[in-house]
Amino acid sequence: MANNNKSEIKIQIELDDNRIPEKLSWAAVEGGVELEEARAFMLSVWNSDEKTTKCIELWTKDMPVDEMKIFFHQTLLSMTETFQKATGDEKMSATMQDFCDYFAEKLELRK
């Protein structure tokens, strides 16, 4: 009997001869993403036994620095929202939002 309570996310990485990412693609069919290109991704996984976070951060060699700055800012905003939803800690969420605003200001992302 098949278990339909599973979902799969796939990440494909095409490397050059020096093993530097040239192309990143991902798919999450259940979420409506068949195969979409990306220039960067970050994946964090919590290991409860070790109480550590395992991370993978990759970006293609043609990822522009200005886009990387925007990517980091948007990732920080997303983490702030997720932190608030997961913990309900309004005070720290507001502090994190203040940092996101500061980050955007210093990188001149909002003009």
CA atoms of 58 and 56, how far apart (whole Å)? 7
Q: State residue 71's pLDDT score.
A: 98
Report whether 92 contacts 83 (CB < 8 A): yes
User: Residue 34 is encoded by which pair of tokens?
Assistant: 């068949």
Report whether 23 contacts 37 (CB < 8 A): yes
Long-range contacts of 58-61 (CB under 8 A, 24+ apart): 58/13, 58/21, 58/24, 59/21, 59/24, 60/21, 60/22, 60/23, 60/24, 61/16, 61/20, 61/21, 61/22
Q: In what order do the strands lie in the sheet with 10-15?
A: 10-15, 21-28, 33-38
Q: Mean pLDDT, 10 residues at a time, over the chain (111 residues)?
A: 80 96 95 94 96 97 96 98 98 98 94 60
Q: State residue 3's pLDDT score.
A: 63
